[in-house]
Amino acid sequence: MMQEYIDDSDLWMNFNDCKLEHLEPDVRKNLGTNKSLRKGFVNIFKIAVECLKANRVPTVKNLEADCNDQNEWPPNTKNYLRRAGTQMGCRAVLRYMFDAAKENDEYAGDGQCQRILKEEWSDLPTCRNDHEFEFVARACGYGNEDDTEEFIWIPYW
């Protein structure tokens, strides 16, 4: 969905505004004027999903390695990471992914994901840290910027 309207910077920025909240303001501004950076930003999401599907932890090191393994021309993803910084560029994407998962969780959020996926969701194995989003984010190297924020710790039952 993030590929949609990528050629129209204003429309793309409006539709994806919430996904940009963890980026530095100057990088956000550059996304609005540079299509290559927008494509690179979207590609980091794809790389993160591929990493998760391969049962690999989406750390900066793993995302950067996957990025370097791609034969991408033009090198949009590398341009994005060079502009945003590898650490912050990856972190912004993963922080959004963790936040979105938390917002859609049945306990920590609105439960939308479980309602939409119903059968597919019930077929997934239960993990003891399914609802411990900040714990998992920190284990992946993507803790919350505000250490005073209250975390939701839901025990496994």
What's the token pair of residue 49? 């999903």
Amino acid in the structure at residue 125:
P
Half-sphere exposure of 153 (CA within 13 A, CB side): 4
Alpha carbons 28 and 92: distance in angstroms, whole number: 11
- Among the residues of the chain, which ranges form H helices? 9-15, 25-33, 35-53, 60-69, 76-84, 86-103, 112-123, 133-139
- Distances from the Cα of 105 to the Cαs of 52, 73, 112, 134, 154, in angstroms? 18, 37, 7, 13, 12
Amino acid in the structure at residue 110:
D
pLDDT (0 to 100) of residue 108 = 72
What's the token pair of residue 12? 């793309």
What digits encode the pLDDT tens for the residues 80-99? 999 999 999 999 999 888 88
pLDDT range class, residue 136, cuts 50, 70, 90: confident
pLDDT (0 to 100) of residue 110 = 74
- Distances from the Cα of 30 to the Cαs of 33, 97, 127, 138, in angstroms? 5, 21, 39, 28
**What pTM was computed for the model?**
0.79
Alpha carbons 144 and 21: distance in angstroms, whole number: 13
Q: What is the rounded average pLDDT of the residues 9-32?
A: 94
* Structural domain spans, the chain: 9-125
